[in-house]
Amino acid sequence: MKHRIITISREFGSGGRTIGREAAAKLGIPCYDHELIEKIAEESGFAKEYIKERGEYTPGGWLASAFSDRDFNGHSNQDDLWAAQRRVILSLAEKESCVIVGRCADYILKDQADCLTVFIHSDMEKRAERIVQQYGERADSPVKRLKDKDKRRAAYYQFYTDMKWGIAQNYHIALNSGKLGIDTCVELITRLY
């Protein structure tokens, strides 16, 4: 595969989406984040809202994901969504150099692409501050929301990849956006590209 891909995995509220978009803009390549939802909807026939909620998150933790909504053979709509998501990500990597945010792209592309895998994280206080400022989250409960989103992302990642989400050994580079800042993270990623 001749295209170079950057995957951005991130803790909720760490700025990973912003970092991915800015790195892509600086490199002059596309960034796929919300755009993936459109492509997956076309591929799968699932509603965009369903994909947005279920494409990176388990409904209520690992056990709930493992056993909910499964038919007699153990198959679920979420499995179909995973397969469609995988096909779309592989197709994008085959077609062009790009940045892909989330959706287990680091795992999906681990053997298929020239891929720089990045994990963006930050301390809870910085992330809580960011989701209140950037997303309008209520100031009285951001930590609970952060923990819930991260827990659901981790469960989804583990269920479909059999790997631990956020463990530094699973990525080429892990960056603390709270300490380094968004601009420095973008600069480091683009230098490594």
22 with 126: CB under 8 angstroms?
Answer: no
- pLDDT tens for each residue of 91-103: 999 999 999 999 9
Residue count of the chain: 193
107 with 163: CB under 8 angstroms?
Answer: yes
- pLDDT tens for each residue of 59-118: 554 445 444 566 566 677 888 999 999 999 999 999 999 999 999 999 999 987 799 999
Instruction: Provide the token pair at 188.
Output: 């480091």
The single-letter code of the amino acid at 193 is Y
Domains and CATH numbers, the chain: 4-192 (3.40.50.300)
Residue whose tokens read 């420095």: 184
